[in-house]
Structure 1
Amino acid sequence: MSAERICVGAIAGAYGVRGELRVKSFCAVPEDLETYKPLTTEDGSRQFSLALIRPIKNGFSARIAEITTKEDADALRGTQLYASRDQLPSLPDDEFYHADLIGLEVTDTGGTLLGRVKTVQNHGADDLLELQLVGGSATVFLPFTKAAVPTVDLTAGRIVADPPEGLLPDRRDAEAE
Structure 2
Amino acid sequence: MSERDSGSSGRAKTQSAARASFGAFVRKPVERPAADAQKAPAAQEMRAESAESWPDDAVEVGAIVDAYGLKGWVKVAAHADAGQGGDALLSARRWWLENGRERKSAARLQAKVHGDSIVAHLGGPADRDEALALRGYRVYVCRSDFPALGTDEYYWVDLLGLDVVNEAGVELGKVADLIDNGAQSVLRIEYAATGKDGKPVTGERLIPFVGVYVKTVDLAAKKIVVDWEADY
Asked if these proteins are the same fold (TM beyond 0.5), I'd say yes
Q: What does residue 34 of structure 2 align with?
A: none
CA distance, structure 2, for counterparts of residue 22 and residue 66 of structure 1: 15
Q: What does residue 35 of structure 1 align with?
A: 91
Deviation at 1:24?
A: 3.5
Change beyond 3 A, Cα 1:160–1:13: same
Ranges in structure 1 where 5+ consecutive residues have no aligned partner: 171-177
**Once the two structures are aligned, what percentage of the paired residues are identical?**
21
Ranges in structure 2 where 5+ consecutive residues have no aligned partner: 1-54, 194-200
CA distance, structure 2, for counterparts of residue 125 and residue 49 of structure 1: 37
2:117 to 40, 59, 64: 59
SS of equivalent to 1:11: strand
1:97 to 155, 162, 177: 155
**Paired residues of 1:52 and 1:60 also in contact (CA < 8 A):** no
Alignment RMSD: 3.2
Q: What does residue 47 of structure 1 align with?
A: 105
Q: How does 1:1-177 map to 2 (within 5 A)?
A: 4-7=57-60, 9-16=61-68, 18=70, 19-25=72-78, 30=87, 33-41=89-97, 45-52=103-110, 55-67=113-125, 68=127, 69=129, 71-76=132-137, 79-85=138-144, 87-135=145-193, 136-163=201-228
Deviation at 1:48?
A: 2.4
**Paired residues of 2:91 and 2:147 also in contact (CA < 8 A):** no
Deviation at 1:38?
A: 1.1
Deviation at 1:159?
A: 0.8
CA distance, structure 2, for counterparts of residue 55 and residue 4 of structure 1: 24
**Paired residues of 2:58 and 2:142 also in contact (CA < 8 A):** yes
Deviation at 1:40?
A: 1.9
CA distance, structure 2, for counterparts of residue 3 and residue 94 of structure 1: 25
Deviant stretches of 4+, over 6 Å: none
Q: How many residues matched?
A: 160
TM-score (norm 1): 0.71
Q: What does residue 173 of structure 1 align with?
A: none
CA offset digits 1:31-88 (Å, max 9, x no partner): x523211122489x53122345653331122232323425413232xx0322241x33
CA distance, structure 2, for counterparts of residue 3 and residue 145 of structure 1: 31
Change beyond 3 A, Cα 1:144–1:4: same
